[in-house]
């Protein structure tokens, strides 16, 4: 990430636009995204209730304890700040946290059911242990924050919020968006598969093999064609 505050604000706007383009938002377009400032106990936060049409004026800068340093937070945004700060507390390497009410994944949250590793997308994007369910607590309450804290593991990339929505997070903002998409896709496929006997988990040995393949191809890098043969 760049150290320029203006560039980081643009990165946050770009991340919002990427989530909107992904088609994972609910009808309301509701959501909020935070972006950690590198090397500082601070983050940028979307101050509105929607991810659509964000401008620099709609971005607040906060400390990791939730104190507002720049900009302003209306009540609807202020009450969810600590859903983000608890992720940074539990997973200090996190660079971006995304909260949405994506319909298929939130259906599992409303049903009180975790999402398991039913798709290759989930396996490839860090959800091989599945996505845990944090029990319900009113927005912004200490109970809701404690419930999130209680289910995050060292490998977690997402959390379902019972009767509410999802949190997705990653070291990089672009990857956090990919986690959102992979989670929503997995939930959608699982619900469709329920009409055919139910979704099936990827066997543990195949999960390990999948991770190995991802690492091997990443290490090999981009493959480019050579000069045309005469």
Give all domains of the chain, ordered by start, each with its CATH number.
Answer: 5-220 (3.40.225.10)
Phi, psi of 167 (to 5 degrees): -120, 135
DSSP character at residue 57: G
CA–CA separation, 42 and 68 (whole Å): 10
Q: Which two tokens stand for residue 87?
A: 């992720």
**Residues found in the chain:** 230
- From first to last of its 230 residues, the chain has per-residue pLDDT tens of 445 999 999 999 999 999 999 999 999 999 999 999 999 999 999 998 789 999 999 999 999 999 999 999 999 899 999 999 999 999 999 999 999 999 999 999 999 999 999 999 999 998 999 999 999 999 889 999 999 999 999 999 999 999 999 999 999 999 999 999 999 999 999 999 999 999 999 998 888 888 888 788 888 899 888 755 54
């Amino acid at each position: 990430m760049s150290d320029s505050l203006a560039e980081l604000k643009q990165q946050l706007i770009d991340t919002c636009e990427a989530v909107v383009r992904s088609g994972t938002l609910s009808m309301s377009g509701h959501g909020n995204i935070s972006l950690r400032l590198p090397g500082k106990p601070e983050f940028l936060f979307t101050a509105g209730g929607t991810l659509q049409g964000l401008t620099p004026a709609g971005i607040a800068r906060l400390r990791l304890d939730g104190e507002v340093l720049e900009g302003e937070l209306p009540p609807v945004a202020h009450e969810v700040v600590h859903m983000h700060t608890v992720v940074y507390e539990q997973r200090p390497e996190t660079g971006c946290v995304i909260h949405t009410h994506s319909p298929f994944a939130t259906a599992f949250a409303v049903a009180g059911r975790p999402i398991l590793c039913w798709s290759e997308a989930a396996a490839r994007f860090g959800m091989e242990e599945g996505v845990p369910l944090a029990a319900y607590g009113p927005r912004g309450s200490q109970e809701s924050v404690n419930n999130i804290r209680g289910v995050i593991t060292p490998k977690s990339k997402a959390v379902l919020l019972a009767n509410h929505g999802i949190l997705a997070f990653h070291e990089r903002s672009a990857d956090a968006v990919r986690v959102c998409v992979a989670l929503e896709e997995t939930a959608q496929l699982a619900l469709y598969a329920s009409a055919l006997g139910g979704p099936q988990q990827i066997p543990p040995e195949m999960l390990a093999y999948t991770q190995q393949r991802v690492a091997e191809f990443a290490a090999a890098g981009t493959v480019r064609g050579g000069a045309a043969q005469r």
